[in-house]
Each structure stands twice: as C-alpha cells, then as structure tokens.
Structure 1
C-alpha cells in the first residue's frame, strides 16, 4: 500500500504538522505501507528530518505567494510537477490549514482515497476519512463540513503519539524540583524568556529549557540560564521522551507535545501560543488534564511564577492531572489511525491444521474468554478435534486475518437455516483496542457472501456487558435485538 502525506513546516507555522505526520508515517510503515511526503520548502522546512527518518520527500521551492486557500490550484500544480509520471497512491493524507475541499478533490488524481488531519473545522472537506485528535473534537463541529460517508476519528483516543511516549506512569514527588520547558519548534510567542524569569524567582529547581530551532531570543536565553546550577539550555534534543520521563513538571504550549506529556502522565502548566490552540487547551483544563493560564499575550512573569509555585508544592493536584491525562491518552492513537487507513487491505485466508496453536492461544487468552459466550478454559486435545471437525464442515467458514506485521485475529461464520449465518470473532494478543475488529468484520463479510451467495442476513450474539463488541457490531451496520445483532442485506 502506498501513502502520500502533504504537510509543511516553517518558522511561522511551526513544525507540529510534520511532527505528527512523521509519527503517523512511522505507524503506517510498521504495518507495511510505503510512505512518502510532499512538502513546500518554506523557511524552516523539515525536509532533512523527514529524509533522515527514512521517508522519500517530493519537494518544491517556496513560491512568491505563501500557500493559502485561494492558491490551492497552484499547490496542486506544484505537487503534480514533482511527482513521478503516472504516480498513484492508495491514500493521500493532507495536514494543512491552507488547503480545503477543492484541493482534496483535485488530489484524487493521485490517489483513490483522501484523508484529512484537521483541528479547526473552519473549511469544507472532500475526504474519505477525517482525523481531529483534539479533546473538544465532535461530530457537531464537522456536521456541515463533511459528507455523511466520511469516517470521523475524533478525540485524544487518536492522538498521534510516538511509541517512545508509552512508558510507565510518572509518579509525582511531594515537592517537584525538575522542570522541563518547551514551547515547540519555534517559540513564536516569545514565552521562553518570561518562563525562565518566573523560574528564576524560585529556589532549588533543576530547569531544562528546549529553545527550539532558530530561536530569536537566543542571546537572552543564554543570559537567563548562565551561572544557574542545574539549569540547561538546548536548541534541540532527540531524547525528549527520556527528558519528559525524568521531569516533575512541564511548562509549554498546547501543541503536539500536549499528547506526549499526557501519555506519560507528566503534570503540565499550559499556555496557548496560537488561536487554534485555545479551544483544546480550555477543554483539557475543564477535563482536569492540566493547569491552563490562557493566551500568551495575557500571561506575565508574576502570573507564571504564582502558577508554577502552586504546582511545585501541590502533589495532589499534579497527581490528579497525571491520572486524568493517562486515562484519556494511552499513546496508541497513531496505531489506531494506521489501522483505520489500512484496514481494507487486511488479508483473510482459510484456517489450516497448522493454525491450531495460534487459534488455541488466541481463543484461550483471558481477555477473549471473559467476553465469550463460552468462557471456560480450552483443552488442547478437544481443541484439535474441534479444529479438524471445523475444517471438514462445509457449513462453517473459519478465517485467519493477517496484516503485514503478522496475524491479527480469527473470524468464523456458521451457516444457519433461512439463508442466514452467525458470526463470531476474536483478536490475537496485542491487537485489542486498535480498531482491527471493524476491518475483520468488513473483510469477513465479503468472504462469507462469496462462500454462500444466497445469504440474506448475518447475526451475532454478544454478552450484555461486552461494550466493545456492542459498539463494534452497531458501528458495522448490525441492528440490535434484545439478545443479538443481525445485519440484513439489501437486494
């Protein structure tokens, strides 16, 4: 599967778009996809970083005009000029506030499907899938912006967080001492000097400041950090996960690092440095995920110092922020988005005798048995006999689902009277909670209807407390009765 990602970075828009797209690209590559980037080489572009991560970049020089809604056609023309002749992709993913439905419709010349990453809901989209990872994302925000057929991935469950941020929870100490400060790749709001001035008025702190790329306040930051024991100043670090894990408190913007520190449970003091950050920062504060001070232009040194002092000495508040953040962001969002994009390429094959151990271990897993109609532990001899009988039964279809990185799960169809079948499925270890069930159902249904062309309906039985399966079948178009689900095919 081939994917093209359209995203830019610059000293004015920051590096957030390319950073989160790199995270998604790595998740897609882990699932076997071939990923390339398309970028305009604006001042502060990240072409080298993308290529160092192992991805091909199709790039063009900055035009006289900056990319904007009114220049979508010029952007398409520039993209067409750098792509190989007859280039074709399964998906084009666009993460760009200056491109809208017109660009997306034109980009179908390069791809079968279009995915959009958005935070603003301020323009129309012509997409097959939309991702808004923000806490305040909702169906209502995009009600007039998308077609009904567009699949929505909304909220921090889909936050694009690198696997390195899926570490153990940080345990807040009684008195916080280690402070990490970062306002993104470019401190466009000039928050770093104010933050360091505020910290300078507090005793006994270890401070690490990440200035970003090409900081305009470089000399001032050096002066503020000079001679202070335990203070460090860096332009850039490549070990941010380790530095976050070692910190007691984070001070920064409501950008991409929001989800990284949430996944680690790092207590945070947040300031919004762009208009598009304000809504999400406020929603997260209401949800108890961090302390939010407001827009950068409204935050002065005394307010910063007072808020920092409050958090440093209040272990209970920091613990509350940490627990709430980790309950909402588990760090697996990029894998979920990758599954949503790649699900249609899931391969299903008939089960074989040599799959006996795979099926046994998958079905006997405690999490699977807990959600099964028959929850007792399996026994190996009986399982072998069951598999032999199943493979010989023409009224039963047992399938194994596989992705590029290995087996995903199993789905079984049992033929019933009245041109019906019953479906049951389970996922293998490590596949839970990522959205594979939806893909497994869709691909399995196609196989069942190919096996039995006269099928009129498929039913499923689900335990009433199995919320994951209830949501799965309802989302797949099954209609719930008091005890079961069924899906009736339209002639």
Structure 2
C-alpha cells in the first residue's frame, strides 16, 4: 500500500560540533518513508547549512519553519536542542509528532511516537514508545551485509565517526603502530567531515596502512572487521548489527546510557574520554591500545554472537510500519 499523499517533515541538524549521527539516522527513516510513497523534507538551521543537502529547508529563526511543521502529516524531531517545553510546543502545532531520543533526560513531554534504540521507559505522555535495539535506525546495507560469511573478518577497524571532533584517529593509529600491531590487519575509516583527514591519509600511506575516507558502504568495511576501536553514538548499533566486538571511546555525555546498556550485554567495553584534557589523552590512548591488543589475542566468537542478537538492522522498517498503521490525528 502506498502513502503518496503523506507529507513528512524532519527537523535534524549536522555539524562538526553536533556530529553526523542525527542526520544519518533521520535519513534512514526518511528513506523508509519515501519507499512507502511519502514526500519527505528536512528542516535545517542556518548555522548547520554547510552540512545541508539539496532540497532542505534552511531557516534562521524557529517561527520560520512552524508553518511547515503545522501542515505536515507527520512531524519528526531528532535534535537535542529542544527541551520538554519546546517539544510540547511542536506537539501543539502538530500532534502527529515522532521524537527521536537517546537518554530520556529532558523530563516529561508530549508526542505521538517516541523512538529510542535503548531500552528506557517513558511517561504516559508518550503515546507509543518504540524502544530497544531492534528499533535502531540503520541503513539497509547493514541487514544485507550482516549475512556475509564471518570467515572474512580479519581486520581491526578504527573509526571515530563522521567528524572526529577530538581528533583521536591519528593518535590511536600512532599508538597501534608503535606497539607493533601488524599494519596489514589495520583498517582505518575516516568520516568525510574529519578536519585532519589528509594528515591521517599521509601517515597511513607512509606506513602502508589501509585508510578509507568518506566511505558510503560502511557495512562492507565492518564485514571485514574482527574487532573495532570506535567512537560511540550511532556507530554502536551498526557494529552490533555486524557482529563486531568493540572498545568504544565515549566523547560525549549523551553516550553514557548506551555504553552502559551494551557493555552489560557483554559484547563491548568502553573508556570515557569526556573531560579528559589533551595532555592526558596520550596516556589514556596507550592504555586503551594495550587492552585492545590483549583482547585481540582471544576468541571473540561469543562476543560477536552477543552483538548480533542486539540489533538486526530492520528498525526503520518496523518504526515506519507502526507509524503508518496508526490513525493520524487531524
């Protein structure tokens, strides 16, 4: 059944400071809506215009996009900048509101649907909570490539997301090299928004390391990976889906709950870099690398299986099916 008359408006930003995670997962949701025939429009603040795309509605003040919000059949919000009062104001504009959340730390607010890939509980003001790893928003490539034969998983993947705001990639590469990790097993994935990407690329060429920059088919690289060192955020759910045990680096406070929940499941571990001064990072990076090198020598089969059980990559389909099956409020 198609939904060609439905108009979906998504409010999400991306920047070096914010990162790419909100935009990426909202685009997954947008694609799933589009596949059902809906028309989708992104709304982006002018301060994040450098990361906007053709067709986005770019605004300077909140009131500029409220008419779009009011007219939408379905309004989607994926933004930490909106507190409970601001979310309630959007709900008054449009009761068919889907909020994407990660931490449940904004107090009670009203919305029709609530999407959170963590298993958190919300108040009754959320009419339809959609929570847990099976609701994680992953691109279709992940459910496809998770079926790849794991015999090909031989690499140690190093990735710090689309922007790597703390510039951790190069220090980790250097630490792994100094400590003697075999370069033929190292796979470095650098996001398109990483500011020192060329410096990383030059170092990797000099030391004969594989470095991929601005990769779209992320799942193909993860399918080659036996273990990973990664920033937290949306990448956590991608690595879980692909069955890649990981040591995560926490770089923001809002990643704490996800790391706590998934570390307890046994497939990953984490180190907190928030509040760590630049001078302290070198020694902390070395400690992480030493731990990872010990883990690399162990049998990772059970951890990989535990990871795969958390996320199957079909979350976008589940969420869109639930939303479209609902009776929209006129």
Please give the range of the TM-score, normalised by the shorter of the 2 chains. Answer: 0.7 to 0.9
Residue 255 (structure 1) shift: 1.0
Residue 319 (structure 1) shift: 1.3
Please, which of 253, 268, 277 is the counterpart of residue 231 of structure 2? 253
Partner residue in 1 for 2:3: none
Partner residue in 2 for 1:302: 286
Residue 215 (structure 1) shift: 2.6
Contact map agreement 1:244 1:261 (CA 8 A) in 2:
yes
Partner residue in 2 for 1:323: 305
Please, which of 169, 172, 189 is the counterpart of residue 195 of structure 1? 172
**Alignment partners' CA distance in 2, 1:205 and 1:338:** 42
**1:13 pairs with 2:18:** yes
Residue 16 (structure 1) shift: 0.5
Q: 2:104 is paired with a residue of what secondary structure?
A: coil
Residue 311 (structure 1) shift: 2.7
Please, which of 113, 116, 140 is the counterpart of residue 132 of structure 1? 116
Partner residue in 1 for 2:298: 314
Partner residue in 1 for 2:57: 58
Partner residue in 2 for 1:181: 158
Residue 126 (structure 1) shift: 1.9
Deviations 1:83-109 (A, max 9, x none): 4xx962221010111113433343356
Contact map agreement 1:273 1:295 (CA 8 A) in 2:
yes
Partner residue in 1 for 2:259: 281
Deviations 1:328-356 (A, max 9, x none): 2111111111112101269xxxxxxxxxx
Residue 247 (structure 1) shift: 2.0
Please, which of 204, 214, 219 is the counterpart of residue 241 of structure 1? 219
Contact map agreement 2:104 2:120 (CA 8 A) in 1:
no
**1:340 pairs with 2:330:** no
Correspondence 1:462-481 to 2 at 5 A? none
Q: What is the TM-score when the length of structure 2 is the normalising length? A: 0.85
Q: 1:45 to 1:319 in 2, by over 3 A?
A: farther
Q: 2:206 is paired with a residue of what secondary structure?
A: coil
Larger RCO, structure (CA 8 Å, separation 6 or more): 2
**Unaligned runs of at least 5 residues, structure 2:** 1-5
**1:206 pairs with 2:188:** no
**1:121 pairs with 2:104:** yes
Contact map agreement 1:267 1:322 (CA 8 A) in 2:
yes
Correspondence 1:86-235 to 2 at 5 A? 88-108=71-91, 111-123=94-106, 124-134=108-118, 137-139=119-121, 142-143=122-123, 147=125, 150-166=127-143, 167-169=145-147, 177-200=154-177, 201=179, 202-218=181-197, 220-229=199-208, 231-235=209-213
Residue 237 (structure 1) shift: 1.0
Q: 1:259 to 1:44 in 2, by over 3 A?
A: farther
Deviations 1:144-184 (A, max 9, x none): xx51x52111111201111110134466669x741222111
Number of residue-to-residue matches in the alignment: 313
Q: 1:266 to 1:169 in 2, by over 3 A?
A: farther
Residue 294 (structure 1) shift: 3.0
